[in-house]
Structure formats: structure tokens, C-alpha cells
């Protein structure tokens, strides 16, 4: 992840736009793709008896787990270090709208964050981001995790 950020800041520009697989945004990407990730790990099924279909299936989950844990750690670290108190009237409308959507989507975590940081909207937002990353990791790795406040086992 560190190397990716350094390459990106170096100004390298790809000749094609990054693609949206239809699962995330609703607008085209603003930045051209400059790096494509890939892995042969788990895919070298050319007779290696240790590389089974299950190994191949698990490799992307291991990758996702590492990446999502890194993002979670960043969001959590920012949550614990950024301390800006703002009166409710001074909160930017876009942030207020986002916090309201977070409260609808993540009622229990947002209630807890609201009690801990009543006048710190940036901390509440970072807490929601960390929770969304955590839930995404649970989904991608098929771990048990909360869905709308309830804990569920992964699909088998």
C-alpha cells in the first residue's frame, strides 16, 4: 500500500480510465488508472498438488482482509487523533447529510459515537467509515459480522 501511494503521487498517468464494475459509484472515475493489481498466488494450478480450488478461492479473501484491515486502521487512527469540536450550526450541510445517512444505515454504532463525541462530527464520520470498512471486510472474507446491528454467520 505504501508503494502504491508513492507511485500515484509521482504523476504517472495511465492511458485508460479506471473502470467501475457497477458495484460502487454512479459517475465515471476522475483519475486515470495508473496501476493494476494482480496475483499469481493461488493461481498456479499447473500440477502443484498443494494448490487446490479451495486455496485459489481463499487467496482473494486473504488479500481483501489485509487491505481492509489497513484502511480500518487508518480510519480508526484518525478517529482517535482528530479532535475538532464544532457547534451544530457550523457543520457543513454535506457532512450533516452524510451523518444522517450514517445514522440510518448504522444506528447502533452511530448512537455510540454520538454519545462519545457529541460535538465532534468528524470523529463520528470517521467512526462510520471505520465501521463500514469493517463490515465490508467481514463480507469479503465471509466472517461473521453485524448486519444492521445484528450479528450473522457467513453464508455457507
Going residue by residue through the chain, which has 156 residues, state the pLDDT in tens, using 9 for 90 and above: 455 555 544 444 444 444 545 555 566 777 887 777 777 776 667 777 888 888 888 888 888 899 999 999 999 999 999 888 888 889 999 999 999 999 999 999 999 999 999 999 999 999 999 999 999 999 888 877 665 554 343 444
Q: Which residues contact 104 (CB under 8 A, 6 or more apart)?
A: none
What pTM was estimated for this model as a whole?
A: 0.67
Instruction: Compute the distance between CA of residue 77 and CA of residue 130 in angstroms, rounded to an integer.
Output: 10
Half-sphere exposure of 19 toward its Cβ, with a 13 Å CA cutoff?
3
| Dihedrals phi, psi of 116, to nearest 5 degrees | -75, -35
Among 77, 152, 83, residue whose Cα is nearest residue 122: 83
- Are the CB atoms for 76 and 68 separated by under 8 Å? no
Q: Are 75 and 126 in contact (CB under 8 A)?
A: yes
Amino acid at each position: 500500500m505504501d508503494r502504491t501511494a508513492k507511485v500515484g503521487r509521482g504523476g504517472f498517468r495511465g492511458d485508460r480510465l479506471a473502470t467501475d464494475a457497477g458495484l460502487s459509484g454512479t459517475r465515471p472515475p476522475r483519475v486515470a488508472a495508473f496501476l493494476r493489481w494482480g496475483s499469481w498466488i493461488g493461481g498456479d494450478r499447473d500440477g502443484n498438488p498443494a494448490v487446490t480450488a479451495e486455496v485459489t478461492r481463499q487467496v482473494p479473501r486473504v488479500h481483501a482482509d489485509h487491505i481492509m484491515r489497513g484502511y480500518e486502521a487508518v480510519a480508526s487512527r484518525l478517529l482517535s487523533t482528530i479532535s475538532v469540536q464544532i457547534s451544530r450550526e457550523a457543520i457543513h450541510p454535506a457532512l450533516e447529510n452524510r451523518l444522517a445517512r450514517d445514522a440510518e444505515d448504522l444506528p447502533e454504532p452511530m448512537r455510540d459515537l454520538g454519545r462519545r463525541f457529541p460535538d465532534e462530527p468528524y470523529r463520528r464520520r470517521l467512526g462510520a467509515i471505520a465501521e463500514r470498512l469493517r463490515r465490508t471486510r467481514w463480507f469479503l472474507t465471509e466472517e461473521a459480522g453485524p448486519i444492521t446491528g445484528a450479528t450473522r454467520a457467513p453464508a455457507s
